[in-house]
Chain A
Amino acid sequence: MTTITQPTTHPSQRARATTLTFGGVLRSEWIKLRSLRSTTWSYVIVIAISLGMAFIMSLSMASGMNGGGDAGRAPADQQAQLVLQASVFGVYFGQLVAGVLGVLVISGEYTTGMIRSTLTAVPKRLPALAAKGVVLFAATFVVGLVANLLAFVVSSVVFADTGVSASLAEPAVFLPLLGGALYLALVAVFALGVGTMLRSSAGGIAAVLGLLLLLPTVIAMIPAEWAADLIPYLLPSAGMNMFTSTTAGPSGDALGVWLNLFIVLGWVAASVVGAAVLLKRRDA
């Protein structure tokens, strides 16, 4: 507090020089994210799933090699592929947790009434959604990266007996690990958009899990060529191919890393734009 207050000064003009800034809204959303148990649990589960799946997958792959003398003499890029496959296996399950967390970050505000406090502090509304997206993206990316790196360590240790190894210094190794984390972060932001549009935890989670789990299965069951053609463009298909693809550009049946990334970004953009329009338009 300053001491230059004059007796006639109105309370609001007294040492209240701070203003609403996007940096402030970012900090606010970070405080909100880290002060809820659901966040901690979600991230712990992402890491646990990642480690567990890497362990099980690498163990089963290594035991299939029968001592693995041959695998150990395979070319380095094939060895790297084996370790990687085991390391990022958990992302398929981790995306479900990231999706649930993304929905809860906003639906939890709607179900408790917190959204009215949030939008009173940030009455222009869109900065609040943007800040939520940025904070959720960054936190999920970091957690996903830690999970994938730990999973890589676990897989490497399990594979060590078979003589199979991969070096983290290779772009072909660390880029997929980064890509898996990027996908988890993008799924969380996609789910944030869905949660904002539906304003309900149950509805939002059902919609996101439906899109990630159910839709690919249902479409795969449709006996038509267009259905088969559609599958690579679904969010989870493009998302998993985004970091498991061995080619950067389209080749043969594979769409390649970049095209898959753009498909995922398209899903995220559609969700976030829909959320922004509805958030701005609706009464809170």
Chain B
Amino acid sequence: MSPEPPVRSVAGMITAEGLVKRYGAKTAVNDISFTVRPGQVTGFLGPNGAGKSTTMRMIVGLDRPTEGRVSVNGRPYAEHRAPLHEVGALLDAKAVHTGRSAYNHLLAMAATHGIGASRVREVIELTGLESVARKRVGGFSLGMGQRLGIAAAMLGDPATLILDEPVNGLDPEGVLWVRQFVRHLASEGRTIFLSSHLMSEMALTADHLIVLGRGEIIADAPVADIIAGGTRTRVLVKSPQASQLADLLAAPEVAVIRSEAGTLEVTGLAAAGIGDLAATHGLAIHELTPLSASLEEAYMALTADAVEYRTEAVR
């Protein structure tokens, strides 16, 4: 392997360089490089099978990269003297022995690093598990399992948190809690790397997005940039001569949807262009509104070609 330039040692920074993971003939992650920075929530977005979980497992050394390397705080995860203080990971809510109580699970995890029972009680309180802490994990709902996973991740009060689908299975109150929790942790200067398939959730939680499709990075940019650049603009047009206008707008790159009488939804032509066209032909325009793209639409546009398991559109 050729010598790589030394990685800057910034607290909590995750740096992946040329990561590749192949399972036999199948390539799960194909040569990805990225940096996750402290003090913000970085969303890791992608369709199922895009390689998000594999990438996260490689960060904490559960899966060995076929090629490339990934470091946390300038070192491979396993090389740290106190890994749980560096990184807290929730990779799988059910990574817990079902026959053990939540308290004993956390106590055993904490003991490896000499973390005491008082911290175990703190994280139980932090995640609202007090009432079930002594019960066996086998009876936990998915939501309680997620809370327990977050509690375990917080044991070492780590500078970096890696959370794979943390809101999966949570009720609306739980989703809100996770959102506020990770925002708070990021505001303390921690690095938060969060995967989700809920784009709307990402729009509310993340500052920066890394979008993965078929094992490759499709986008790596601030959330706002992705929303702005990722979709074609839609314009809402109201006109008493809507059908005439629709005929004029017809072009291969322009799509016109007639939603109700006198209302058009135009994609592929900016508001100014529509207005000019109407003026040239003397058509009245009552409303001309550019619709802001949602992250969901930006995401669909980005991953349209990279969906591993595509379902036929309903209807």
Residues of A with C-beta under 8 A to B115: 18
- Give Cα A31 to B97, complex, Å: 13
Asked if residues A16 and B156 are in contact (CB atoms below 8 Å), the reply is yes
Kindly state whether residue A122 has any CB partner on chain B within 8 Å: yes
Chain A contact patch, size range: 35 or more
Question: Are B83 and A24 in contact, with the CB atoms below 8 A?
Answer: no
Q: Which residue of B lies closest to A32 (CB)?
A: B108
Contact string, A119-158, partner B, CB cutoff 8 A, digits 1/0? Answer: 1111110000000000000000000000000000000000
Q: Are B94 and A113 in contact (CB-based, < 8 A)?
A: yes
Given contacts A11-B188, A18-B114, contact A35 B101 (CB under 8 A): yes
Nearest CB in chain A: distance from B157 CB, A: 6
A interface: dominant SS: helix
A14 touches B114 (CB 8 A): no
Q: Which residues of chain A come closer than 8 Å to B104, judged between CB atoms?
A: 31-32, 35
Interface string of A11-29 (1 = CB under 8 A from B): 1111010111100110111
A28 and B86 contact, CB distance less than 8 A: no
Interface status of B12 (Cβ within 8 A of chain A): yes
Judge whether B211 is part of the interface by a CB distance below 8 angstroms: no
Q: Are A114 and B97 in contact (CB under 8 A)?
A: yes
Pick from B96, B108, B157: contact of A31, CB below 8 A: B108
B159 at the interface (CB under 8 A from A): yes
In the complex with contacts A18-B113, A20-B84, A20-B112, A120-B64 CB distance below 8 A = no
- Which of A11, A25, A37, A283 makes the CB contact (< 8 A) with B63? A283
Interface set of B (CB-CB < 8 Å, partner A): 11-12, 57, 60-64, 77-78, 81-86, 89, 91-92, 94-101, 104-105, 107-115, 152, 156-159, 188-190
24 contacts between A and B (CB under 8 A): A10-B189, A12-B12, A18-B85, A18-B114, A18-B115, A19-B82, A24-B111, A24-B114, A28-B111, A28-B112, A29-B108, A32-B100, A35-B100, A35-B108, A36-B100, A108-B97, A112-B97, A116-B92, A117-B95, A120-B61, A123-B61, A123-B78, A124-B78, A283-B63
CB within 8 Å of B: which residues of A? Answer: 10-14, 16, 18-21, 24-25, 27-29, 31-32, 35-38, 108-109, 112-117, 119-124, 283-284
